[in-house]
Amino acid sequence: MYNKSMKKGQKKKHRGLRLFVKFQIFLMILILGAVAYYYLSGYGAIVSELKEEASRYVAKSTPETFKSTETSIAYDVNDQVISIMRGEKDVYYVESQRIPTYCKQAIISIEDKKFYKHHGIDYRAIIRAGLAILRDGKVSQGGSTITQQLARTIFLNQDKTWQRKVEEIYIALALEEKYSKDQILEFYLNNIYFANGYYGIEAASKGYFNKNVNQLSLSEITFLCAIPNNPNNYDPYQHFDHTLTRRNRILKNMLEDGVISEDSYNSAMTEPIYLETAEEVSNDNAETYLFYCATRAVMEMEGFEFRTEFADDEDRQAYEEAYEEMYNTCNRKLFTGGYRIYTSLSLDMQQKLQQTVDSQFENYQDVNEEGVYKLQASAVCLDNNTGLVRAIVGGRKQNIPGYTLNRAYQSFRQPGSTIKPLIVYLPSIENGLRADDIVVDEKIEGGPANADGTYMGEMTVRRAVALSRNTIAYRLFEQLTPQVGLSYLEAMDFSQVDASEENLAAALGGLTHGVSVLEMVKGYATIENDGNYREPTCIIKITDSAGNVLYQTDRTESVVYKMDAARQMTDILESVLTEGTAKGYGLKGMPCAGKTGTTNDNKDSWFIGYTRYYTTGVWVGYDMPQTLPKTVLPTPMKIWNAYMTEIHEGLVPIDFIDPMVVEELEPEPLEDNEGEQEEETVVEETTEVVTENGEGAPAGNNEIEP
C-alpha cells in the first residue's frame, strides 16, 4: 500500500517536472521567437534609433529648454500693464522656490505618488499599459510618470503610438540622470497644459483666479492641479463640477499621504471656488507703437544695425529686405521670449490724449467701406526731460478687430509750414539770420503765393514766422539751398527724406514722401533741447522674467542745431501763439512755443508745440486726401491746447532760456502730474483762419498725395 502510494507520488512528481520543463522550453522558444521577430522584423533597429534620438534630445537640453516659450508683459511708466504678449501659449515661468509646497505635493499626490522613489518610469504602470496595448491594440491606458509627461510635453507629441511611448521612456530615463527631482518638478509645473491656452501653473493661476500662484489657497491650488490630467474633461469653464470633484479627490489623497492635516482638509473642502478671469488688456495705439519700439530693441539686442542713408537704390532694397526679415523674426520672439518691458508711456496721459482727439470729431461720423472714420487725426506727446514718448494716438477710437493702423508713426503726410523752422529758419539762424532782421514779403515769379494772396512788404523775421509768410521762407531756403536745409532732417533720421526731396518746394512742406507726426514732434523736441537730438522711443529697459536687464535704451544725444540758434528759434516760435497763426491757443501761465501748418487745398492741418515739459504734435486730415472743411482747420490747435492744458495742471511754469544765455538752467524735477481737475478751460479763439500755402506754389511740388 505504501509502495503503491509512493509510486503514484513519484509519477505525479515526474509529470510535474516534465510539464515545468516543457513550459520553460515553450517560454524560451516564445522569448527567442519574440527576440527573433523583434530583430528580424526591424523593431530592434527602430527602438535603437529611438533610444539614440532620445539621448540627443536630452544631451542638448539646458534649463532654458524648458522655458523657451514664455509670455511677455509690458508696463507703463507707473507700472500699469499696457500689454500681455503671448504667442500660441500663455506661459509665465516660476522658479521652484516660488512655487508653493502645497502645489508640488498636490500634483505628486494625484499624478505620481512614487515620483521621489522611481528613476523616471514606473515599471508596474508600464506593464499595465503594455497589457492594455495587447488587449486593445492601441495605447489606451496611462502609466506615465511626471518625468514621462514632461518628456512628452517638451520633446514629443501626444500621438498614442508604441514608438512615441518607447521614446518617451528613454527620454524620461535620460532626464532623471541629467536633472534633479526638484528641477524636473519645476519644469513640469511650468509646462503642463491647464486648458484654455494656459501653460504652466502661473498662467493658470492668473487666468482662472487673476492671482499669482503664491497667492492661492490650498483649495484653489488643488482645483488647478485637477486640470492637467484631462484638460478637456476638467476644463473649469466647461465642466466646473468635474474639476471640483477631482479637487476633492486630490485633497483626500493629500490627507491620506499625510501632507495636510484634517483641519486643512476640512477647511479646503468647504471653501467655495470663484473663478475671476483677468480682463483682456487692450490699449490699441499704445500697443502698436510699443510692439514697434520693442521689436526694434530686440533687433538691436540681436546686433542689427539700423541705417537711414544708402549708396543707391540697390543698397536700400537690400537693407529693407534684411530689415523686414529681422523685424519679423524679432517680433515673433517678442511674443514668446518672456520679456518684461518697461516703457515711458503713461496710460493716463494716453487716455487723456485719445479722449481729447475724439471729442473734437463728434459731428463727423462718416465712414469708409471698411467702417473706418473718414476724417482722422493723430497725435504724439513727448517728454522733454527724457526725450521719450509719453502718449501716442494713431486715430479716432474705434473697435474694429484686426485694424492696427497707427497714423502717428506709420502714415506719412506733407507737413505744410510746420517744416519751416526745421529746414529753413533754424539753419538760416545758424548762418547769421536774427529775429529782428528785416525781410521782404513780395511776389516771386514762378514761386509760391501767400495764403491770403497779399504781400506785406518789409517785416521782421519774427513776424514772418508768426504769420507764416510763404514767400520769405521760400527765398531763405533758396539762399540756403535745399541740400543744406534737408540735411538737418537727415541728421534726425527722418525716414523718408532722400535726394529726391531736394527742391525748393520742400521749404513749404512740399515733400514727395512726407513725414510722420512722430518725426515732426522729435524735430521740435530737438529745438527745445537746445538743438540736441534724441531718438524717440517708448522703451526704457527690457528684462527677462527673472529681472535680469537685457536692454537699456541709449539716450545719447547728437548735436543737430547750435544751442543759441535753437534758443532763438524757440523765442521766435513763442510769437506764433501770441500774435501769429495760433494766437489764442497758448497755455495760460505756461510759456509755450509752436507752429501751425496747412497744405495745398487745405488737405492737411497741423500744429506742433512745446513747453519746457512736453512737446505735442497733432495732425488732422483724411486718409485719402481731400479738402478739409474750414471749421476743421483749427482743430489741431484746439486738441493741442486742451490736452496740454490738462497735463500741465499743477506744474510750475518754467520760462524758456533766453538766447545768448549759455549757462545750463535745470528745470524743476518733472513729476508725473497729469492733472485730475475736470474743469473746462475756456480758450480765446481767433475767428480768422490763416492758411499758409497758397495756390501759386509750383504745380506738383507741394500737392499732397497718399
417 tagged catalytic: yes
For helices 162-178 and 146-155, what crossing angle results, to 10°? 110
Q: How far is the C-alpha of 154 from the C-alpha of 170, rounded, in Å?
A: 14
Q: Report CA Rg, the chain.
A: 36
How far apart, in Å, do the first and last CA atoms of the chain sit?
120
With contact defined as beta carbons under 8 Å apart, do 74 and 82 qualify?
yes
- Please give the full DSSP string across 63-128, using - where no structure is assigned: GGGGGSSB-EEEE-TTS-EEEEE-SSSEE----GGGS-HHHHHHHHHHH-TTTTTSSS--HHHHHH
**Which residue type occupies 539?**
I
Exactly one of 72, 205, 417, 545 is catalytic; which is it? 417
- State the DSSP H helix or E strand holding residue 59, giving kind and residue range, or none if neither: helix 43-60
Distance of CA 124 to the CA centre of its chain: 49
Contacts (Cβ under 8 Å, ≥6 apart) of 459? 438, 439, 440, 441, 467, 469, 472
Cα distances (angstroms) measured from residue 678 to each of 21, 396, 494: 99, 21, 37
- How crowded is the C-beta side of 122, counted as CA atoms within 13 Å? 19
- State the DSSP H helix or E strand holding residue 207, giving kind and residue range, or none if neither: helix 201-209
- Please give the full DSSP string across 352-420, using - where no structure is assigned: HHHHHHHHTTTT---B-TTS-BSEEEEEEEEETTTTEEEEEE-SS----TT----HHHH--B--GGGGH
- State the DSSP H helix or E strand holding residue 143, giving kind and residue range, or none if neither: none
Per 3-state DSSP, what percentage of the chain is helix, strand, and coil (rounded to 5)?
Answer: 45, 10, 40
CA quadruple 40, 43, 47, 52: dihedral sign: positive
Cα distances (angstroms) measured from residue 120 to each of 55, 117, 125, 130, 667: 14, 9, 12, 17, 65
**Which cell goes with 108?**
505628486
DSSP state at residue 559? E
With contact defined as beta carbons under 8 Å apart, do 693 and 417 qualify?
yes
With contact defined as beta carbons under 8 Å apart, do 570 and 582 qualify?
no
With contact defined as beta carbons under 8 Å apart, do 427 and 485 qualify?
yes
Q: Which of 366, 200, 350, 226 has the alpha carbon at shortest distance from 285?
A: 350
Please state whether 215 falls in left (phi above 0), alpha (psi between -120 and 50) or beta. Answer: alpha
Exactly one of 70, 72, 109, 111 is catalytic; which is it? 111
Active site residues: 111, 417
